[in-house]
A and B are shown apart, each in its own frame.
Chain A
Amino acid sequence: MAKVLVIADIKQGVLKGSTAELLSKARAIGAQTAVVAIGSNIESLVPELAAAGSDTQYIADDASLDLFSAGPYAACVVDAAGQFGASQIWFGFSESGKAAAPRVAAQLNAACATEITDVIVDGDKVEIVRPAIANKVVQRVKVNTEQLVAVVRAGAFEAAADITGTENPVKLSIPAADLKAVIKEILSDASGEIDLADADIVISVGRGAKDQAGVDLVKDLANDLAAGFGSSRAMVDGGFMAHNKQVGQTGKIVAPTLYMAIGISGAIQHLAGMNGSKTILAVNKDPEAPIFNVADYGIVGDLFEVVPILKQEIKKIRG
């Protein structure tokens, strides 16, 4: 039987939805499940981790793990994988996961696959499915090792409504700090903002907004809908939006229920970061903009005119 270890996605003390999604998938393929949670002041999350679908919770809780450092993070995962006897180790999509997964794979001499969208287990045979070449093709990849380390693409798996687990916490020993790569600080401007990775609605602004007034107009709509507020590369390069707001292959890959691309033409790298969204609405002046090729609904028009009307009309419906 497959034994799947899921790395809990915890950001600023909050357990993110991807953890239950991955555990749901693990249960759906008939695997035994465990979760490893790494951070500071996270022991209280054990009941939540169990409810998300895990039957064992490996906990590395220490002040030294407060700021992300890939070395110690990977060491905790390797430790938990060993204790659990994991055949598969799954990270949810995150920068931490992308940084740690190849380390874990190298240390375990295991195959590593990132951005996976499916896992197929047939007896001893394991295959994964993943997009490649900026989402232009899909690869089916045969795993030749006994263990697989994977980073799951955002939105690939759905959380089962009836998922549940059992509390069985196991404390991990705390690895030494990485003295050769010392994390000094995290400069964050994201406090209190809605996390793009798990927002139901994401609204992104592009070059069509022109300037700060345009950005503010779109941001106002995002605030109104309690939506995550993202950006195209152009607005980051223009200094209007922070790096951590960029949606696309460089930056955040998102798959919300509704994605609104406002004034975004739709470069390939941007599309690769949002085309897993359930529904896409695009607003753009140029009827030929590539974003309309992926949008379920397209409004050809000036965002300065359209956005206020959007806001008003949505308010009418949502009350």
Chain B
Amino acid sequence: MKILTTVKKVVDVELNIHVTNGAIVEDGLQYVINAWDENAVEAAVQLKENSGAQTTLVSIGGGDNTDMIRKCYAMGIENGIHIEDPALAKADASIYANVLKKVYEKGGYDLVITGKQAQDTDSGQTGIMLAEALNLPCVSNVISIEVMDDQHIKVSRLGDTGTEVVEMALPAVVTVSDSINEPRLPAMRGIMMAKKKKIDVMDLAGLGTSADEIGCSSPKSEIAEFMESKTRKAGQKFEGDAAQITAQVVNLLATEAKVF
């Protein structure tokens, strides 16, 4: 089984993010692997270990992704592709999906595993759109993957009314929730080995496509501006005798917030 997993470099959401003149202030930002993609990498590596799968990752954009891709190598991914092209600077999910389609067609894979969304956009569209573009079955928000035979997997998905169990014919696309696993910390040996491995870096032409073909010249949507989020303000905090302050707060909930 050949697995393709996607990893995106995203802004670290644990740090403060500021906006001026409609754009995010780059100063002071740090970049990390998208957390949900780290779960996708772990899922791929587990399938390699348990079912003898071959694992390849692809990363689109982000500048120098060497450290991120090496980290994934150290976790157990075997091959890495990085697509970098200035035309991708403002790519939306449908453009990413078109790029991934090219990567998929070039490599020929049985299973694509992506994170269910990226932390920078919180969109959750790319994997599903890739499946549509390739006319492959797709299940999103997956929390377990089990190999049934060469041509089938069984996945569980967190749905609206419970855990949905779905049998999928390969090739297929799944997008994973962070509930699927706990990504491993790479061992020292893996980290040392990862340094020697090569990363296949290419631009859109190298991938056999062009900015026009993947939709960069006619994006379906464009970010007009970023704005500061209306953050909630800290309200009233009460310390002291539990009975007294709790009674006081319940009273405020009723009279001030009028929720009771």
Contact = CB atoms under 8 A, between A and B. Distances in A.
B50 interface: no
Interface residues of B, number: 84
Determine which residue in A183, A295, A296, A318 has the highest number of CB atoms from chain B within 10 A of its CB, and name it. A296
For the residues of A in contact with B, the DSSP-based class is mixed
Contact of A70 (B140, B154, B243, B251): B140
Contacts of B206: none
Task: Bin chain A's interface residue count.
Answer: 35 or more
A170 interface: no
A50 interface: no
A64 to B, nearest CB: 15
Contacts of A145: 220-221
A139 B253 contact: no
Interface string A289-310: 0001111111111100110011
B177 interface: yes
A318 B260 CA distance: 7
Interface in A155-169: none
B229 A135 contact: yes
Interface stretch (A30-38, A105-113, A212-220): A105-113
Interface stretch (B13-21, B53-61, B65-73, B185-193): B13-21
B17 A136 contact: yes
Interface in B160-190: 160-169, 172, 177-179
Contacts of B47: none
Nearest to B246: A309
Contact of B220 (A114, A139, A144): A144
Nearest to A256: B259
B128 A103 contact: yes
For the residues of B in contact with A, the DSSP-based class is mixed
A295 to B, nearest CB: 6
Interface stretch (B75-83, B105-113, B232-240): B232-240
Nearest to A103: B132
Interface in A203-252: 236, 243-244, 246, 249-251
Interface string B230-260: 1110111111001101110111111001011
12 contacts: A69-B166, A103-B128, A103-B131, A106-B128, A114-B123, A135-B229, A137-B229, A180-B136, A181-B166, A190-B162, A243-B163, A279-B253
7 A-B pairs with the lowest CB-CB distances in the bound complex, closest first: A188-B162, A106-B132, A180-B137, A296-B235, A298-B237, A181-B137, A102-B128
Interface of B: 11, 13-14, 16-17, 19, 24, 93-94, 97, 116, 119-125, 128-129, 131-133, 136-141, 143, 154, 156-169, 172, 177-179, 218-232, 234-239, 242-243, 245-247, 249-254, 257, 259-260
Given A133-B13, A142-B223, A314-B253, 18 more contacts: A95-B141, A95-B157, A103-B128, A139-B226, A141-B224, A143-B221, A144-B221, A182-B167, A189-B162, A243-B143, A250-B116, A250-B179, A295-B237, A297-B253, A298-B235, A298-B236, A310-B246, A317-B250
Interface of A: 11-12, 67-71, 94-96, 98-99, 101-103, 105-107, 109-115, 127, 131-145, 178-190, 201, 236, 243-244, 246, 249-251, 257-258, 268, 275, 278-281, 287, 292-302, 305-306, 309-310, 313-314, 316-318
